[in-house]
Amino acid sequence: MRFAGRQVLSIADFTRDEIVHVLTVASQVEQRGRGALFSGKLMATLFFEPSTRTRLSFEAAMLHQGGQVMGFSDAASTSTKKGESLADTIRMVEQYVDVIVMRHPRDGAARLAAEVSRVPVINGGDGANQHPSQTFLDLYTIAKLFPALLTGDRQLTVAFAGDLKYGRTVHSLVSALCHFKVKILLTAPAGLELPQQYLDECAAAGLPVEIASGLPEAIAASDVLYMTRLQEERFPDPVEFDHIKASYRVNAAMLRSAKPELRILHPLPRINEIATDVDFTPHAHYFPQAGNGIPVRQALVGLVLGVL
Ligand code: CP
């Protein structure tokens, strides 16, 4: 298994064994705590789109291990504003650093960057396409909660709710779950259903996929409920958006029908889809999930830098 120098562009580029190796290394790094793994190493964080967790947790992952970080979180302050191409920007940055983390609004931008970069590029999210480091941390979180994900002792039911059409974290996670023994439940507003290509991937992997009648069924039937944000800009009619928003909102009262072990995940940011009263139930797990970003991103960075 070779990771040094590798590009992290899509979860589809990783085999099951490689995914499990990343999760194992993340667990070792988490147990070891802070150190100097990345001493003398420099990361560039190039964020052409807003981010809180991805950028800051990559930066914290680096700084907690003695590495250094440079970059930008507002492309308007860079020469992109003057018309410099993405390829030329990468051709410059790759000469300055050891690893690049990039988020970009265009599908495929990370792959383009990787084609012109000598150093590893980690995709921090490209358009509606992929967000692989989020997927590794989602899998790490599920495996910590439910070791059966890796042992295959029983079939977990993972439900996805919300915008399944444009949610890149959903696309990446569904693809990754095809390597494991899970059943998938889906519930999405009309027009925002999971694209056919991901249903085809599940079918090819032999994963059972069912459409839930709505959030109540998904809550009652699942071990993991993966909520996503509904994006208002996708709805031409604000009245329709308000109606759908109300039907894709979980609150504490709705969780009375849940299994005791149900855990709710969300890549965050949440807007309206999880009421704050859920935060005080044992089912809420989205903040620890975000915390898992540190060891998982340390594992990815360490592996591609060849220091783990
Ligand atoms: N989960 C996630 O990608 O969050 P950010 O957009 O804040 O990075």
**pLDDT tens-place values along the chain, 308 residues long:** 899 999 999 999 999 999 999 999 999 999 999 999 999 999 999 999 999 999 999 999 999 999 999 999 998 989 999 999 999 999 999 999 999 999 999 999 999 999 999 999 999 999 888 899 999 999 999 999 999 999 999 999 999 999 898 888 999 999 999 999 999 999 998 888 999 999 999 999 999 999 999 999 999 999 999 999 887 766 777 887 888 888 789 999 999 999 999 999 999 999 989 999 999 999 999 999 999 999 999 999 999 999 99
- Cβ–Cβ < 8 Å for 39, 62: no
By DSSP bridging, strand 156-161 and strand 68-72 are unpaired
Is 5 a domain residue? no
DSSP state of 115: H
The verdict on 256 and 190 lying in the same domain is yes
The verdict on 37 and 84 lying in the same domain is yes
In the set 6, 41, 45, 54, the catalytic residue is 54
The tokens describing 287, both together, are: 């903040």
Q: Is 111 assigned a catalytic role?
A: no
Is 223 a domain residue? yes
Protein residue whose Cα sits closest to atom 1 of ligand 1: 267
The verdict on 123 and 39 lying in the same domain is yes
Break the chain down into helix, strand, coil percent, rounded to 5.
45, 15, 40
Residue 161, strand partner residues: 187, 227
Candidates 54, 163, 166: which one to mutate for ligand 1, based on the most atoms within 8 Å of Cβ?
54
Q: Is 82 assigned a catalytic role?
A: yes
The verdict on 139 and 101 lying in the same domain is no
Protein residue whose Cα sits closest to atom 3 of ligand 1: 54
The verdict on 160 and 215 lying in the same domain is yes
The verdict on 239 and 147 lying in the same domain is yes
In the set 6, 41, 104, 131, the catalytic residue is 131
Query: Within 10 A of 17 (CB to CB), how many other CB atoms are there?
Result: 9
The four Cα atoms 116, 118, 120, 126 give a dihedral, to 10 degrees, of -10
Q: How far apart are CA 97 and CA 103, in angstroms?
A: 17
Q: Which pLDDT score, from 0 to 100, does residue 248 have?
A: 87
The verdict on 177 and 266 lying in the same domain is yes
Q: Which pLDDT score, from 0 to 100, does residue 234 have?
A: 67
**Domain, as residue range, for 147:** 134-290
Is 1 a domain residue? no
Q: Which pLDDT score, from 0 to 100, does residue 247 have?
A: 79
The verdict on 253 and 277 lying in the same domain is yes
The verdict on 203 and 71 lying in the same domain is no
CA 51 – ligand 1 centroid, Å: 5
The verdict on 182 and 66 lying in the same domain is no
Q: Is 171 assigned a catalytic role?
A: no
CATH number at residue 111: 3.40.50.1370
CA 227 – ligand 1 centroid, Å: 14
The verdict on 149 and 282 lying in the same domain is yes
| Residue 132, H or E segment | helix 132-145
In the set 21, 24, 53, 281, the catalytic residue is 53
Ligand 1 atom with the shortest distance to the CA of 267: 1
CA distances from 266 to 18, 106, 276, 289 (A): 24, 23, 13, 8
In the set 55, 103, 183, 229, the catalytic residue is 103
Candidates 53, 103, 226: which one to mutate for ligand 1, based on the most atoms within 8 Å of Cβ?
53
Question: Please, which residues have CB within 8 angstroms of residue 36's CB and are 6 or more apart in sequence?
Answer: 65, 66
CB hemisphere CA count around 97 (13 angstroms):
27
Protein residue whose Cα sits closest to atom 6 of ligand 1: 51
Is 300 a domain residue? yes
The verdict on 108 and 126 lying in the same domain is yes
Q: Is 81 assigned a catalytic role?
A: no
Which residues have CB under 6 Å of ligand 1? 51-54, 125, 134, 267-269
Q: Is 54 assigned a catalytic role?
A: yes
Question: Please, which residues have CB within 8 angstroms of residue 90's CB and are 6 or more apart in sequence?
Answer: 100, 102, 113, 116, 117, 121
Give the total number of structural domains in the chain. 2
Candidates 46, 48, 49, 51: which one to mutate for ligand 1, based on the most atoms within 8 Å of Cβ?
51
Q: How far apart are CA 44 and CA 68, in angstroms?
A: 9
